[in-house]
Amino acid sequence: MKSMRRSSLRITCQSQVDCVQFPLSTFTYCLPPMINIAFMNATADGIAALLFPDLEAVVHDLRSGQIAHIANGFSRRKVGDASLITDLPELDKGLDVIGPYEKAAPNNRVLRSISIAARGPDGRVAALLCLNFDVTVLTQVQKLLSGYVVGVQPQARPAPLFRTDWREQLNAIVQAISVKQNVRQSEFGRTEIMLTLAHARAAGLLDIRNFIDYFSEYFDISRATVYNYLKATPKE
When mean pLDDT is compared over 22-36, 42-56, 116-130, the highest value belongs to 42-56
> Distance between the two ends of the chain, CA-based, in angstroms?
48
Does residue 37 surpass a pLDDT of 80?
yes
Please check the confidence at residue 146 and state whether its pLDDT lies above 90. no
Q: Which of 88-102, 118-132, 181-195 has the lowest mean pLDDT?
A: 88-102
Determine the Cα–Cα distance for residues 173 and 153; give it in Å rounded to an integer.
Answer: 24
pLDDT single digits (tens) 209-229: 889 999 999 999 999 999 999
More confident residue, 42 or 143: 42
Average pLDDT, rounded, for the chain: 80
Percent of the chain with pLDDT over 90: 43
CA distance 23 to 44: 27
Whether the per-residue pLDDT at 11 is higher than 70: the answer is no
| Right CATH for 12-155 from 3.30.230, 2.60.40, 3.30.450, 2.170.220 | 3.30.450
Q: Cα(161)–Cα(155) distance, rounded to whole angstroms?
A: 14
Q: What pLDDT does 165 receive?
A: 83
CA 209 to chain centre: 17
Q: Is the pLDDT of residue 81 over 70?
A: yes
Instruction: Name the range with the highest mean pLDDT among 79-93, 124-138, 158-172.
Output: 124-138
Q: What is the mean pLDDT of residues 29-42?
A: 75
Q: Where in the chain are all domains bearing CATH 3.30.450?
A: 12-155
Tell me what the mean pLDDT of segment 25-29 comes to. Answer: 49
